[in-house]
Amino acid sequence: MQDAITTLIKNYDITGRYLDREAIDRLKSYFETGTARVQAAALVNANAADIVRQSGSQLFSDLPELIRPGGNAYTTRRYATCLRDLDYFLRYATYAWVAGNTDVLDERVLQGLRETYNSLGVPVGSVVIGIGIMKQIVKEKVEAAGVADSGFVSEPFDHMIRELAETDV
Ligand SMILES: CCC1=C(C)/C(=C/C2=NC(=C\c3[nH]c(/C=C4\NC(=O)[C@H](C)[C@H]4CC)c(C)c3CCC(=O)O)/C(CCC(=O)O)=C2C)NC1=O
């Protein structure tokens, strides 16, 4: 698992370079957004159950066939498992904010996920829509709380969306 700093240092060490202008700029931007990243993570921590519930409700109202007989989230067990998956995506997104890096998502969340979903008939396109809905809800909450520099908020969600959507082709 890597974070913004270890990744940068590793890259410079490989080529034996001192931290140059570009490295300093990247470090500055990471430290300048640091407080906001931690604030956003704390905000999600305090509202996680709510965010997951709201995201699920909107997903199932946009795609009601998911919870009808034959739908992948039909039955209480699968409904709950779907919400659990959304909760995983949310929790790991907060780790990625704090790390300033999406590596944790590749390693802990996305690896092998598409294969698992395919083998269980979980519709990846609908999962991607669910992550997009959750991103919107989280962005609104973070902005409403007045957390500065919220540009980083979307990053982990966009990364998961991109990776899942891409590997589904
Ligand atoms: C921390 C990293 C991590 C992730 C991401 C993860 C996902 C994950 N989701 C699973 C199942 C599942 N995932 C869903 C999700 C959905 N179905 C839908 O229709 C919706 C579109 C969607 C919710 C948004 C469902 C319904 C199942 C159960 C499928 C089944 O057993 O038939 C499974 C199979 C094992 C299980 O049932 O627990 C895994 C491994 N597990 C992990 O450890």
- Closest residue (by CA) to atom 40 of ligand 1? 116
Question: What number is the average pLDDT over the span 63-80?
Answer: 98
> Is 74 close to ligand 1, i.e. is its CB under 6 Å away?
no
CB atoms under 10 Å from CB of 67, counted, come to 18
Mind listing the pLDDT tens digit for each residue in 111-130?
A: 999 999 999 999 999 999 99
Q: Is the dihedral of CA 61, 75, 118, 96 positive or negative?
A: positive
Give the integer Cα–Cα distance in Å for 30 and 22: 12
Q: How far is the CA of 36 from the centre of ligand 1 (A)?
A: 31
Mutate to test the pocket of ligand 1, among 72, 108, 168 (most ligand atoms within 8 A of CB): 72
> Is 137 close to ligand 1, i.e. is its CB under 6 Å away?
no
Percentage with pLDDT > 90 across the chain: 94
Give the integer Cα–Cα distance in Å for 42 and 45: 5
CB atoms under 10 Å from CB of 109, counted, come to 23
> Is 105 close to ligand 1, i.e. is its CB under 6 Å away?
no
pTM (predicted TM-score) = 0.95
User: Which residue type occupies 116?
Assistant: T
Angle between helices 154-167 and 76-99 (to 10 degrees): 120
Give the integer Cα–Cα distance in Å for 18 and 91: 35
Q: Above 90 in pLDDT, residue 163?
A: yes
Q: How far is the CA of 134 from the centre of ligand 1 (A)?
A: 16
**What is the SS3 string spanning 51-78?**
HHHHHHHHHHHHCHHHHCCCCCCCCHHH
Give the integer Cα–Cα distance in Å for 153 and 66: 28
Give the integer Cα–Cα distance in Å for 4 and 30: 7
Give phi and psi for 33, each to the nearest 5.
Answer: -95, 0
CA nearest to 165, candidates 125, 118, 116: 125
> Is 120 close to ligand 1, i.e. is its CB under 6 Å away?
yes
Tell me, what's the pLDDT at 166? 78
Tell me, what's the pLDDT at 25? 96
Closest ligand 1 atom to Cα of 72: 19
Mind listing the pLDDT tens digit for each residue in 6-55?
A: 999 999 999 999 999 999 999 999 999 999 999 999 999 999 999 999 99
Domains and CATH numbers, the chain: 1-32 (no CATH), 34-164 (1.10.490.20)
> Is 116 close to ligand 1, i.e. is its CB under 6 Å away?
yes
Question: What number is the average pLDDT over the span 81-103?
Answer: 97
